[in-house]
Every structure is written in structure tokens, then in C-alpha cells.
Amino acid sequence: MNYLSVTLTREAKRMSVLREVYEKQLEVLPKGSLRVRERSGKKYFYLAYRKDGKVVSDYVGNEETALTALKEQLERRKGIENLLRSIKNELRLMNRAMEVAK
């Protein structure tokens, strides 16, 4: 094996481990987006997500600290999903490069 193949193999393993770590983090974080509905001048907050192909809305409440924590978790989830997309693309490119390097 040449140096390029060894380096690509090592990096692919590292990226695979990262992918697994991020996927485990996603299992814990909530899915969906925060929706606000206003009725009789009061705001009600719901977490909207898909379950079995249907959109489900769960009432979250309107306590500021809980909403802030939920918003942070949803933002973290989106960030991790973006990282996972880029990791999967890089792994695909590395696998192609390793095939060519053989």
C-alpha cells in the first residue's frame, strides 16, 4: 500500500467513528421545529415533527427557560445533521479515491 492509501484508510476510519458519534447524539435530540400559534391573544408553542409519515404537533408550553432549552437542542440537531451530510460526502469521496489508488 502506498502512503496515500494508508492515509485515506485512516481518515475514513476516523470519519466513520465521527459519524457514529454524531448519529448517537441525534437519537437523544428532539426532531422537528418549533411552531407558535396565537389564540385569544395568547401564544402557544408546539413542537412539530413527522411520525409514521404524518405531521404531529406536541404542546411544549410557554415557559421561557424550557423554550430556550428546546430551541438550543433543535439548533444543535440541525448543526449535527449538516456535519453528518458533509461527513457522508467526504466518506463517499474517500472511497472513490481509495478505489482509484488501488
Question: Measured at the alpha carbon of residue 41, what is the angle toward residues 37 and 46, in degrees to the nearest 5?
Answer: 20
pTM over 0.85: no
Question: Measured at the alpha carbon of residue 93, what is the angle toward residues 90 and 98, in degrees to the nearest 5?
Answer: 125
What lies within 8 Å, CB to CB, of 76 at 6+ separation is 29
Q: Around Cβ 59, how many Cβ atoms within 10 Å?
A: 10
Say how many residues make up the chain. Answer: 102
CA distance 48 to 71: 13
Is the backbone of residue 81 left (phi > 0), alpha (psi -120 to 50) or beta?
A: alpha
Q: Dump pLDDT digits (tens) for 20-79.
A: 999 999 999 999 999 999 999 888 999 999 999 999 999 998 888 889 999 999 999 999
